[in-house]
Structure 1
Amino acid sequence: MAVMEAAEKLSTDIIDRMREAIADADGHEVMAWGKMQGGIIAELTIAARGDEESVPAVFQHMEKGDVVIHNHPGGVLKPSGADMQVAGRLGEHGIGFFIVDNDVERVYAVVEPVSVKEKRALKVEELASLLEPGGALETAMDGGGYYEYRPSQVAMLERVAESFNESRICVAEAGTGVGKSMAYLLPALNWASMNDERVVVSTATINLQHQLIDKDIPLAKKILGTVDSSFADCRTALVKGRGNYVCLRRLASAVEEQTLFDEDNDELEPIKKWSETTSIGTRDDISFFPSNTVWSKVNSEGDSCLGLRCKHREKCFVLKSKKEAASAQLLIVNHHLLFSDLAMRLEGAGFDNSVVLPPFTRIVFDEAHNMESSATSFFSSEMNLFSVLKQVNRLYARRRARTFGAVINLQLEAGAFEEDEKIPGLVDGIKEQMQVLDTAAVEVMRSDMNIRLRGDTVEIFKDSIFPAMHELQKRILDCVHAVENIVKRLDEKDLELPVVFEVRMLERRLEAFASICQSFTLWEEKPGDVFWMERSRSSSGDYFARFVITPLDISRMMRESVFSPYETVVCTSATISVNRDFRFWSTRVGLNGFEDREVTASMFKSPFPYKEKVLLALPEDAPEPNNGDYQSFVEDFSLRMLELSEGRGLVLFTSYRMLTETFDALKPGLDKLGITVLKQGDDDRTRLLEKFKTDTASVLFATSSFWEGIDAPGNSLKVVIICKLPFMVPTDPVIAARMEVVEQRGGNQFMEYMLPEAVIKLKQGFGRLMRRGTDSGVVAILDSRMLKKFYGRLFVNSLPETARSFKPVEGILRDSENYLFLS
């Protein structure tokens, strides 16, 4: 493009401001960025003074359609090599690059900005009317289903739609029965279709993902189609993590190895036959559930994927999924997958490129109460005996006088080198040292399930753990160095071999283990992380040690990767407030005190008639949980209540030990009554829940994840028994470290951390009972602290308003009988 008059690209005001900025810089270089209106720059921000190296600092605040303006003091507007490099990088993101002279009379448009289509605002009232009586939802339900007008659902939809229009952060607690999925799906689908912008909906559980894809989204599209038929065509896709897909290359290798060594035949052969006929290639598509050991040998892994080098790429299930996601306007993902994408973007991949997911502009977090735990899990690093052995065995292994692994494959394809002879000994050295470290860690944890690295435990680590880690780090790096020397000696034509890519992937994984070892020994230099080790049991029952590094606080990462860069962020759940206050959750995820964006927080009350349908029972004569009689009280009360309810019960525990003890005590008596007794861990979660829902004379004993995500409406669930208030275990290393932070800043760790977390967890457990407006029953909480401790009121006030029976056991059983059979 030829040099033109500055007035053709810059408004008069902008020319004056640019001249002033250049004068203030004594005629030196100035970097500015502007926004286009009507083909000329009408808004300007002076961002930096300096050369092209200043552009990255400017770029992170810009978006598609903006322009970087840079002056050439010498008056020569021809772009330099550095200018062209910068212009190329900006152009990839739709950002323009202009050069002006110091008098801002002439301009050279090196790269024109991409023309950005003006956003079309959602018609909030029109969307709301779809859910109102006589609207499209009621009409859609005429063919089957039950329509109920829910004012709180309409109010939530309006708030979410406004957040899309105004590019706001929206926090919405939607009580059970509000219908939050439809309240955010209608605006999200409408926006994505109308503005051709990709929206991501992230959930914590696979159950909700399938509900959205199989049920809610088709209904939402049908409803939107009554407004404009094109809205019904909004393309959607369910995106699962790589680990859910079979990798045909890894499967072929595993089958070849089992043919040689006759192991895992019972599962690998059926998986191979299935892989030849499946159209989606996911684990849940197999007629049986493969063991974790076998699946880990054949599933897809990001850093071991050969990409275009793979001979199976034409049939690759992950690649097929990625293509579907790239063409979709609305993606359904889980929190962990979303955070893996956001982490890479934050590390430099940028927010306009495809990473794990294709680029997107707006996010809806459903089950938002799990955001902190999901982010914490993803951003943690771990090493253990089995993870190290897995990687070194993929590098080199021996079985029955046969050798295999990436190094052997490299020898076969590219020839042998002197360093090849060192690899077996180096790999054996890593295995031996990892075993030394594991044994030492298990030994020091004989009386503890975990130990956190801190001032009063550092001597334990110095005595045996640090020396073993230091030696392991050295042996890993020696092996990596030897492998790298092999790669360096390859002919240039061999560097593109798929096996070379695999070898380098294994190098990176081994280096990550070495980095964990080094970080542990330098723990005092990393106050933002929690360093800990834990004693766990393998599938064979043997103890092994896990070495983990966990971020102490994820709020900064959340701000930088979620709340700052994305246009709209909606966070919703049935349980994110404590006593109708959002501050605890907002603080944990980084929203409390976040002033960069407008944040709205609202509560949408459940339409369910809890006061008429649910009895909250708190036995006044329950012993305290630390009393020796407490276990027998739980057993006696539970047996009598479950006999009264004829099964149809869910018994929730805070520890697996108490679950097992209670289950063993009650099963004989319940069996005699003809009640089916189910226990978490005895079967796959999905099959267990299906048995529970279909057998209306059954009882399920459960803990942990079963406090949420169970949806058993109707006659299959009439009684929920919660044995103890779900306080977190204070000996958990990460919880303990976070509690210490609260105390160090002068706060009360119990009131500010332990208590709010327990309240949110209790609300989840309570919410298992009433899943439809017609459901009814009893929630019995057998923890006397609800009535006797000063903080018990906070738990009660955080639950929906129900009928109450706060009496001795005999009175509660009478009230429950009346409630279950006479009301």
Structure 2
Amino acid sequence: MSLSLTPSADLLSSDGLFEQQWPAFTPRPGQQQMAGLVDSAMANKDSVVIEAASGSGKTIAYLTPIIAQGHRAIISTASRYLQQQLYRQDIPRVQKIMGTSHSVALLQGRNHYLCPYYLEKNLQADAALGKQQQVALAQLAQRYRQTGSGDLDTLAPDLSSAMRRYVTSSRDDCLAKQCPHYARCPLMSVRQKAQTADIVVVNHSVLFTDAVMRREQLGDLLPEADIVVVDEAHRVADFAQGIVGQRLSSRKLKQFLVDASKAVHDHAPEQRQLLAFIQQLESALVALSSQLPSMENYRPEQHSQIIEQLITAFERVGKNLLPFKDRHQHLSDVLVRCQLLRDKLRVMSSTEQLCCVHGNQHGFMLQTIPSHLAMALKPLFKEAAGSWVFTSATLSVAGSAQRFLQSLGLEDTHFQQVDSAIDYQRQARLFTPQITVTPDHAEYCLQLLEQLMPLLAAVDGRVLCLFTSYRNLNEVGQGLRGFIDRPLLIQRSANDQSAGDNYRLIERFKAVPNSVLLGTGSFWEGLDLSGIPLAAVVIDKLPFAPPSDPFIEWRTNELEKHGINSFEQAILPDAVIRLRQGCGRLLRRISDRGVIMIADPRLRSKAYGDVFMQSLPAMEPLSNLAELKPFLQHSNNSTSESE
């Protein structure tokens, strides 16, 4: 029988095609149920929201019907790790089993692709860069000429984020068709390939953006897709709140002014008044960083006034550049960039969304945020006439997914929970050690280390430690280094010059059976360790969003103004979802066994701890390592047998 005529659930059942072709495959009822839901959604051009518990095999569950039916699909994920896993492992594996050869494209954000224009421009800027940076750029240029590849993840996987900004473009400074390198632009090449691909893997940053940028990046892909799968769907609101709106950093504005000043100085030095004005504008941006209006007592007119002043300033720069733009390509280029920035500022000024200016480590950020996310996303959902599938292991809080559905305007979309064969009562224990200080106390990490090191000594196998901040991660990492007889792998901040590729770090973790990995950020979710057992997952504290985040401040104030308890309705549910994601890293197969250690004493001492407990899988809670020993002894024997 043809694959397209075979129900996907049958392909994934006992004696089905997957069990015949894949020795490690285990049929899972939840996986078959989810594949059937996707089959039905595609047949009826309908949409569905699926919460698939960890270990249910949701990725294979949605890939099977897509590949079997040969439908044109867009698959969107929140994390780059899952993107890479889909593209490098999961899709090729399913295609091999089914004997298909559908074309697949990976479409990432701009900062993953080299921009030849800015590489060349910054190679010529001897005074702006240090010798070491110039050497690094020269080596990168040579590799680019030799390979012809502009994918920075393969061309220069160890390139720091600080260096990437010299060799990539953003929408705010991309010259598009006016760029002299447009014909050989790596980003445009990837987008052209995606236009003809059967399956396109993207991230939420590409999918959940404003209509103009989405059209620029996806072209006609969305209207022509038969199905759009949104994996890691619990992160959609996070992405969309910051992306459906507009963002513009002071760093980007300052970099433009530096480039404009140099272009005018080199090619129109008689324009002294323009040079003086650009210099004044540079000084004004620096001064503004320390004089930003408050987000706590938000007054929109204070924020919009700053944007209006910037519009006036950039209009003046553009007007003065226009008469002599044809003298040199650099002058023409900065004029185009000036107009792009001016136009973006105008859009930000005219929007009915929240408009704010808030500080960051590099100065400040101009940002608009939709006050009603569901309304902002409606045009996106209408663009794709086919099916939409939203899926994640964590869409509900205390059993209800109502908040997720309402946030995206999906109240009328069918919601289905898919069970997993994993039995947490039998396979896991919840360890809540006796720590006597709260997470904000100076001695918290010390007490955490005192509980963590005996646990590491007691368990055999890999241990994943998840942190809510790099500060805690680095402090605990420093405390462990040299005191444990295990390989220690530590995620580095993107701002750290020694930061490497997370994908490769995880591959190292998989390769070393007794290693300990310390991670934060995306390591809480989208980290698929299927087939690689963990002995324990350690969580430093309950993952509440930092109250200093400007958007969190604004959302809290807005909810409270309308008589809504912001903690109960927003902050707590978000933290519950994140904790569920972290805990979900432990058990992926019915043969796995392990311990979840949540160090935060607030899980037991605070009333809201009950909401966390009700949302986690039911498992026996223990507070003493001695109580864990019988379980650990059995788990260690199992780990030894499986490795």
TM band (smaller chain): 0.7 to 0.9
Question: How much has 1:392 moved relative to structure 2?
Answer: 1.8
Q: Say whether 1:245 aligns with 2:110.
A: no
Match of 2:338 in 1: 507
In 2, are the aligned partners of 1:805 and 1:812 still within 8 Å (CA)? no
Question: How much has 1:705 moved relative to structure 2?
Answer: 2.7
In 2, are the aligned partners of 1:246 and 1:317 still within 8 Å (CA)? yes
Distance in 1, matches of 2:433 and 2:528, equals 26
Q: 1:561 is matched with which residue: 380, 391, 411?
A: 380
Distance in 1, matches of 2:128 and 2:287, equals 31
Match of 2:358 in 1: 533
Q: 1:151 is matched with which residue: 25, 29, 40?
A: 29
Distance in 2, matches of 1:607 and 1:737, equals 41
- SS at the partner of 1:669? coil
Distance 1:680-1:321 versus aligned 2 partners, 3 A rule: closer
Question: How much has 1:629 moved relative to structure 2?
Answer: 6.4
Q: Say whether 1:164 aligns with 2:42.
A: yes
Distance in 2, matches of 1:309 and 1:384, equals 23
Distance in 1, matches of 2:374 and 2:7, equals 37
In 2, are the aligned partners of 1:243 and 1:299 still within 8 Å (CA)? yes
Distance in 2, matches of 1:584 and 1:669, equals 44
What amino acid is aligned across from residue 221 of structure 1 in structure 2? Q
Q: 1:588 is matched with which residue: 395, 407, 411?
A: 407
Distance in 2, matches of 1:761 and 1:256, equals 46
Match of 2:622 in 1: 806
Distance 1:356-1:250 versus aligned 2 partners, 3 A rule: farther
In 1, are the aligned partners of 2:296 and 2:554 still within 8 Å (CA)? no
In 1, are the aligned partners of 2:222 and 2:384 still within 8 Å (CA)? no
Distance in 2, matches of 1:650 and 1:384, equals 35
What amino acid is aligned across from residue 755 of structure 1 in structure 2? L
> Superposition pairs for residues 614-763 of structure 1, below 5 Å?
614-619=428-433, 624-625=438-439, 630-645=444-459, 648-670=462-484, 673=485, 676=488, 678=490, 680-681=492-493, 683-684=499-500, 685-712=502-529, 717-763=534-580
In 1, are the aligned partners of 2:21 and 2:97 still within 8 Å (CA)? yes
TM-score with structure 2 length normalisation? 0.87
Q: Say whether 1:577 aligns with 2:577.
A: no
Distance in 1, matches of 2:254 and 2:612, equals 47
Question: How much has 1:164 moved relative to structure 2?
Answer: 1.0
Q: For the aligned residues, what is the CA RMSD?
A: 3.6
Question: How much has 1:393 moved relative to structure 2?
Answer: 2.4
Query: For each residue in 1:377-406, what CA deviation from the matched residue of structure 2 results, as whole angstroms up to 9, or x when unmatched?
Result: 2234344442212112232317xxx955xx
Match of 2:184 in 1: 315
Match of 1:366 in 2: 231
- SS at the partner of 1:649? strand
- SS at the partner of 1:277? helix
Distance in 1, matches of 2:178 and 2:127, equals 25
Distance in 1, matches of 2:532 and 2:33, equals 31
Q: Say whether 1:214 aligns with 2:82.
A: no
Q: Say whether 1:277 aligns with 2:152.
A: no
What amino acid is aligned across from residue 165 of structure 2 in structure 1? S
Q: Say whether 1:478 aligns with 2:316.
A: yes
Distance 1:572-1:563 versus aligned 2 partners, 3 A rule: farther
- SS at the partner of 1:163? helix
What amino acid is aligned across from residue 538 of structure 2 in structure 1? I
Gaps of 5+ in 2: 639-643
Distance in 1, matches of 2:157 and 2:388, equals 38
TM-score with structure 1 length normalisation? 0.69
Distance in 1, matches of 2:221 and 2:317, equals 30
What amino acid is aligned across from residue 574 of structure 1 in structure 2? A
Q: Say whether 1:436 aligns with 2:287.
A: yes
In 1, are the aligned partners of 2:533 and 2:592 still within 8 Å (CA)? no
Distance 1:298-1:728 versus aligned 2 partners, 3 A rule: closer
Match of 1:85 in 2: none
- SS at the partner of 2:125? helix
Q: 1:793 is matched with which residue: 579, 604, 610?
A: 610
- SS at the partner of 1:769? coil
Query: For each residue in 1:650-699, what CA deviation from the matched residue of structure 2 results, as whole angstroms up to 9, or x when unmatched?
Result: 222323333333334443533xx455363543632334434433344433
Query: For each residue in 1:360-382, what CA deviation from the matched residue of structure 2 results, as whole angstroms up to 9, or x when unmatched?
Result: 35311011111111112223434
Distance in 2, matches of 1:667 and 1:630, equals 18
In 2, are the aligned partners of 1:529 and 1:549 still within 8 Å (CA)? yes
Question: How much has 1:424 moved relative to structure 2?
Answer: 2.0
Q: 1:425 is matched with which residue: 270, 276, 283?
A: 276
Give aligned-pair identity as a percent. Answer: 27
Match of 2:74 in 1: 200
Distance 1:423-1:361 versus aligned 2 partners, 3 A rule: farther
Distance 1:324-1:260 versus aligned 2 partners, 3 A rule: same
Question: How much has 1:157 moved relative to structure 2?
Answer: 0.8
Distance 1:762-1:268 versus aligned 2 partners, 3 A rule: same
Q: Say whether 1:376 aligns with 2:244.
A: no
Query: For each residue in 1:611-667, what CA deviation from the matched residue of structure 2 results, as whole angstroms up to 9, or x when unmatched?
Result: 332222234675554677654432211122122226732222323333333334443
Match of 2:641 in 1: none
Greater Rg, structure 1 or structure 2? 1
> Superposition pairs for residues 347-362 of structure 1, below 5 Å?
354=219, 359-362=224-227
What amino acid is aligned across from residue 568 of structure 2 in structure 1? M
Question: How much has 1:812 moved relative to structure 2?
Answer: 3.9
In 2, are the aligned partners of 1:723 and 1:782 still within 8 Å (CA)? yes
Match of 2:295 in 1: 452
In 2, are the aligned partners of 1:433 and 1:468 still within 8 Å (CA)? no
Distance 1:715-1:246 versus aligned 2 partners, 3 A rule: closer
Q: Say whether 1:395 aligns with 2:260.
A: yes
- SS at the partner of 2:118? helix
Distance 1:532-1:258 versus aligned 2 partners, 3 A rule: closer
Question: How much has 1:778 moved relative to structure 2?
Answer: 0.7
Distance in 2, matches of 1:630 and 1:326, equals 52
In 1, are the aligned partners of 2:489 and 2:505 still within 8 Å (CA)? no
In 2, are the aligned partners of 1:436 and 1:468 still within 8 Å (CA)? no
Larger CA deviation: 467-476 vs 692-701: 467-476
Question: How much has 1:427 moved relative to structure 2?
Answer: 1.9
Question: How much has 1:548 moved relative to structure 2?
Answer: 3.6
Query: For each residue in 1:180-218, what CA deviation from the matched residue of structure 2 results, as whole angstroms up to 9, or x when unmatched?
Result: 12221222234444xxxx321111122222222222222
Larger CA deviation: 423-432 vs 284-293: 284-293
What amino acid is aligned across from residue 432 of structure 1 in structure 2? S
What amino acid is aligned across from residue 617 of structure 1 in structure 2? F
Q: Say whether 1:764 aligns with 2:581.
A: yes
In 1, are the aligned partners of 2:435 and 2:600 still within 8 Å (CA)? no
Distance in 2, matches of 1:508 and 1:216, equals 43
Distance in 2, matches of 1:707 and 1:799, equals 15
- SS at the partner of 1:616? strand
Distance 1:629-1:397 versus aligned 2 partners, 3 A rule: closer
Distance in 1, matches of 2:123 and 2:405, equals 49
Question: How much has 1:762 moved relative to structure 2?
Answer: 0.6
Question: How much has 1:584 moved relative to structure 2?
Answer: 1.5
Query: For each residue in 1:478-509, what CA deviation from the matched residue of structure 2 results, as whole angstroms up to 9, or x when unmatched?
Result: 2122123445xx6xxx9xx9767634431224
In 1, are the aligned partners of 2:466 and 2:524 still within 8 Å (CA)? yes
In 2, are the aligned partners of 1:724 and 1:783 still within 8 Å (CA)? yes
Q: Say whether 1:289 aligns with 2:106.
A: no
Question: How much has 1:779 moved relative to structure 2?
Answer: 0.5
Distance 1:468-1:611 versus aligned 2 partners, 3 A rule: closer
Q: 1:327 is matched with which residue: 193, 196, 203?
A: 196
Question: How much has 1:433 moved relative to structure 2?
Answer: 1.5
Match of 1:65 in 2: none
Distance 1:300-1:160 versus aligned 2 partners, 3 A rule: same
Distance in 1, matches of 2:460 and 2:436, equals 23
- SS at the partner of 1:452? coil
In 2, are the aligned partners of 1:395 and 1:506 still within 8 Å (CA)? no
> Superposition pairs for residues 57-206 of structure 1, below 5 Å?
126-141=7-22, 145-193=23-71, 198-206=72-80
Distance in 1, matches of 2:193 and 2:211, equals 20
